Amino acid sequence: MKEIYELKGAGCSIREIARELDISRNTVRRYLKSPEAMRPKPRRQRASKLDPYTEYVDRRMAEGLENCVVLHRELAARGYDGGYSILKGYVSPRRRKRQPEATMRFETAPGEQAQVDWGSLSYIGEDGKRRSVWVFVMTMGWSRACYVELVRRADTAAFIQCHVNAFEYLGGVPRRCLYDNAKVVTLGKDEAKRPIWNQRMLDFALRVGFEARLCREYRPQTKGKVESGVKYVRYNMWPSIRFTDDADLNGQALEWCDAVANARIHGTTNRVPWEALAEERPRLGRLPDRARLAPYLRQDRKVSRDGFVSWEGSHYGVHWKWVETTVQVGERQGTVEVWAGDERIAVHPRAQQPKQRFILPGQWSGLPRGDNRPRREAVAVQIPVGEVERRSLDVYELVAGGVA
């Protein structure tokens, strides 16, 4: 004790020191004789429930996983029955230091806004090669309920399909959707610095009934909720995903949305997103029937020289006059339709296995032979086509809200 030395140095006797500090004289003598003997012995370190799993935690952290929620979930699956705080105490001092960032948060009313973003996730395939998949995240601004889908293509058709699936999952359409400057939304800016919209995406927004808006360039913070959502997917869902095919992958993504992302207590709102979404749904617009949205869900394909388009691993024939032109392909009620603008030019049954080839009746009728004589024409079959809405380009300005 420091006080013993101070009193002894001031000339106090052992009796006076003992009386002043309310300890025995023998204690004072022992401490003055050997200070080390009076120091408490270190406690014996008790075994921790985490000890058998530290090697696994170290390996997962070396692989880049530092999220304790995910680590705790993985350890529990391996038999760990210890607490979250023990794991956090082990992981925290071993984490890589990150520079904190400051930003301002903007809140929106129920049903007012959803934020949408793409992100790229990588994985090692069965062949040992690194591959990537696109992740679509839609986050409701008020309830924080989210929808996640993973796709192989980052084209407009896939982007729109993800919107339709998200609106169905969340239960309606918000008044506006906020985006960054991805090419599936905007093709750039004109001389007046106004967005040049992807007309197909903008026409889809008009048909569905929401306003498309862009966040400010180089300011992803204006879309912070969904940016956090992409990080949440990357660090919470993705590290534990093991899938056999794309259907299994998206099945696990929906299960994660149901059981984890939308079932937790959100750190900002302090509410369960599912419960908040139930209150938000009456403020959402109604999604049109899928039949009205079919034109927006088709994918561009180029017709090969032998008169086929490739789609989902199989080949579908069209009349030879469309050779080397770009057409649109989509699925409807178990059939595959091929369109050239507003004209439906072929209908085939959907392939049940890869690499099937479907020939259109009369596919080569009228094709000149080597002797310049045309082939005999087959009887043409008239395919009824539904009326497609036509709009003036001025109407797009009504749905495009500009930059947020």
Domain 113-291: what homologous superfamily?
A: Ribonuclease H-like superfamily/Ribonuclease H (3.30.420.10)
Global confidence as pTM = 0.63
Edge-to-edge, what's the strand order for the sheet holding 176-179?
Answer: 146-151, 130-140, 113-124, 176-179, 211-214, 400-403
Across 71-89, average pLDDT:
88
Is 248 or 35 the better-scoring residue by pLDDT? 248
Distance CA 230, CA 225 (A): 9
Query: Domain ranges in the chain?
Result: 2-38, 51-94, 113-291, 298-358
Asked if residue 179 lies in contact with residue 214, where contact means CB atoms within 8 angstroms, the answer is yes
Is 101 or 19 the better-scoring residue by pLDDT? 19
Percentage of the chain exceeding pLDDT 90: 35
Distance CA 397, CA 2 (A): 80
Judged by DSSP in three states, 347 sits in strand
Asked if residue 138 lies in contact with residue 170, where contact means CB atoms within 8 angstroms, the answer is yes
H helices present in 257-330, as ranges: 273-280, 290-293
Distance CA 265, CA 271 (A): 5
Asked if residue 178 lies in contact with residue 208, where contact means CB atoms within 8 angstroms, the answer is no
Using alpha carbons, list the distances in angstroms from residue 355 to 123, 127, 201, 299, 337: 26, 22, 31, 19, 17
Is the pLDDT reported for residue 400 higher than 80? no
Asked if residue 65 lies in contact with residue 73, where contact means CB atoms within 8 angstroms, the answer is no
Confidence at 267, pLDDT banded by 50, 70, 90: confident
Winning range, highest mean pLDDT, from 37-46, 92-101, 325-334: 325-334
Which residues, including other chains, have CB under 8 Å from residue 178's CB and lie 6 or more apart? Answer: 113, 114, 115, 116, 213, 214, 215, 222, 223, 226, 404
Q: What is the pLDDT of residue 259?
A: 93
Across 18-39, average pLDDT:
76
Judged by DSSP in three states, 243 sits in coil
Going by DSSP bridges, is the β-strand pair 326-332/299-302 parallel, antiparallel, or unpaired? antiparallel
Q: What is the pLDDT of residue 93?
A: 85
Asked if residue 112 lies in contact with residue 174, where contact means CB atoms within 8 angstroms, the answer is yes
Is the pLDDT reported for residue 274 higher than 90? yes
Q: What is the pLDDT of residue 209?
A: 93
Q: What is the pLDDT of residue 220?
A: 46
Confidence at 218, pLDDT banded by 50, 70, 90: very low
Tell me the pLDDT tens digit for each residue of 293-320: 888 888 889 999 999 999 888 999 999 9
Winning range, highest mean pLDDT, from 92-101, 110-119, 332-341, 374-383: 110-119
Going by DSSP bridges, is the β-strand pair 314-317/357-358 parallel, antiparallel, or unpaired? parallel
Distance CA 113, CA 140 (A): 6
Report residue 101 as tokens: 């960032």
Distance CA 75, CA 59 (A): 13
Range with the lowest mean pLDDT among 43-52, 281-290, 354-363, 379-388?
Answer: 379-388
Across 112-133, average pLDDT:
88
Is the pLDDT reported for residue 73 higher than 70? yes
DSSP string, 71-134: HHHHHHHTT--S-HHHHHHHHGGGSPP------------TTTEEEEEEEEEEEE-TTS-EEEEE
Asked if residue 263 lies in contact with residue 257, where contact means CB atoms within 8 angstroms, the answer is no
Is the pLDDT reported for residue 223 higher than 90? no
Tell me the pLDDT tens digit for each residue of 139-173: 999 999 999 999 988 888 889 999 999 999 999 99
Q: What is the pLDDT of residue 276?
A: 96
Is the pLDDT reported for residue 389 higher than 80? no
Is the pLDDT reported for residue 392 higher than 60? no
Angle at 103 between CA 98 and CA 104, to 5 degrees: 155
Percentage of the chain exceeding pLDDT 70: 81
Across 203-228, average pLDDT:
71
Is 2 or 327 the better-scoring residue by pLDDT? 327
Q: What is the mean pLDDT of the chain?
A: 82
Q: What is the pLDDT of residue 152?
A: 86
Is the pLDDT reported for residue 395 higher than 60? no
Q: What is the pLDDT of residue 397?
A: 56
Is the pLDDT reported for residue 219 higher than 50? no
Distance CA 306, CA 321 (A): 11
Report residue 74 as tokens: 């993985």
Distance CA 180, CA 172 (A): 22
Is the pLDDT reported for residue 383 higher than 70? no
